[in-house]
Each structure stands twice: as structure tokens, then as C-alpha cells.
């Protein structure tokens, strides 16, 4: 699907606040209500808009500590990989999981209450899958944390 300036404007607005009514969104992007609605539907059907969510304040929900977990796997079989993926999916504290290049095989992002909660998460993780090395860094300050995808490439 080709993305034009109107689509980028719609996506920009929806990334900032997905609760806009169609009328409000159309006004913000200088389109008629029907044209705006059609474009949103096309963006959804194309899979560009994957969903609409509420962003929650983790600290107010007692999950204010972000932990970055670096993992070296030790083995790279399909069976191990599936066990690892299953373990990650089963742990709600893990909110991001990334397979990476270089010396570290995976980086996980977790949200927990405190260091003791991280230790409980660590114990659950190592009980489910063998790993060569697990190291964690605790985020001291979130300088930038956004869900917005840059639209300059589209």
C-alpha cells in the first residue's frame, strides 16, 4: 500500500491519541469525514494499523522498574528456541523480547515492582529454559520511551 501525506497525517494523529472521533481526526488532517474513515479502514485492512490500545502508567500500577535483560543462549536449536519463546510468552512481566546480532543473543525488557520482583522473574525464567549467561541492567531514568513509529520512511 502506498502511503501519502494524508495517510501519514492520520497515522501521526492516531499514534498520539487513538481516541479521536472520525470527525475530529478528519478535521485535524484536513479531509472529509468519509474520506478519512475510508483511509483509516484501508490502513487497518493493510495491517499498517495493527490495533488501538491504552497506554498505562506503569509506576502507578506498581510496575515502575524497567529491567533490560541480556541473554546468551548457549544453544541455537529449533527446540531450544521454541522453549525460550514459550517461556517468554508465559511471563507477563516481560514486555519486550528481541533476538539480536553480536555477542548477546536476546535482549528482554521487563516491568517489575522492585529488585526482589526481578529476582522472582529471573528464577522463573531459568527454571524454564537453560541459558549460558543472564545479565540485567536496571533503568535509572527513562529519557525517551515512545510507542510512535517514525513516519519519515513511509
pLDDT digits (tens, 9 = 90+) for 91-148: 999 999 999 999 999 999 999 999 999 999 999 999 999 999 999 999 999 999 999 9
Max CA pair span of the chain = 57
In the chain, count H helices and then E strands: 5, 4
**Residue range 44-89, pLDDT digits in tens:** 999 999 999 999 999 999 999 999 999 999 888 999 999 999 999 9
Could you tell me if 107 and 139 are in contact, meaning their C-beta atoms sit under 8 angstroms apart?
A: no
Q: pTM of the entire structure?
A: 0.89
Calpha distance 63→110 (Å, rounded): 9
pLDDT on residue 74:
85
Strand partners, 98: 107
Q: Is the pLDDT of residue 154 over 90?
A: no
pLDDT on residue 53:
92
pLDDT on residue 93:
98
pLDDT on residue 1:
87
Strand partners, 66: 111
Q: Is the pLDDT of residue 90 over 90?
A: yes
Calpha distance 59→99 (Å, rounded): 27
Could you tell me if 138 and 119 are in contact, meaning their C-beta atoms sit under 8 angstroms apart?
A: no
Q: Which residue has the cell 511471563?
A: 91
> Which whole number is the average pLDDT over 31-47?
98
Ordered strands of the 65-72 beta sheet: 94-99, 106-112, 65-72, 133-138
pLDDT on residue 37:
98
Domains and CATH numbers, the chain: 5-45 (1.10.10.10), 59-138 (3.30.70.920)
pLDDT on residue 75:
87
Amino acid at each position: 500500500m502506498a502511503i501519502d501525506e494524508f495517510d501519514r497525517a492520520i497515522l501521526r494523529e492516531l499514534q498520539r491519541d487513538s481516541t479521536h472521533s472520525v470527525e475530529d481526526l478528519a478535521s485535524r488532517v484536513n479531509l472529509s469525514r468519509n474520506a478519512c474513515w475510508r483511509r483509516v479502514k484501508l490502513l487497518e485492512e493493510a495491517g499498517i494499523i495493527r490495533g488501538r490500545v491504552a497506554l498505562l502508567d506503569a509506576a502507578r500500577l506498581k510496575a515502575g522498574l524497567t529491567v533490560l535483560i541480556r541473554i546468551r543462549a548457549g544453544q541455537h536449536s529449533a527446540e531450544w528456541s521454541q522453549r525460550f519463546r514459550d517461556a517468554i510468552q508465559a511471563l507477563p512481566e516481560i514486555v519486550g523480547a528481541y533476538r539480536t546480532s553480536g555477542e548477546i543473543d536476546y535482549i528482554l525488557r521487563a516491568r517489575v515492582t522492585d529488585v526482589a520482583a526481578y529476582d522472582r522473574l529471573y528464577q522463573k525464567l531459568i527454571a524454564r529454559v537453560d541459558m549460558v549467561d543472564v545479565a540485567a541492567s536496571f533503568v535509572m531514568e527513562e529519557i525517551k520511551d515512545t510507542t510512535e513509529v517514525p513516519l519519515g520512511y513511509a
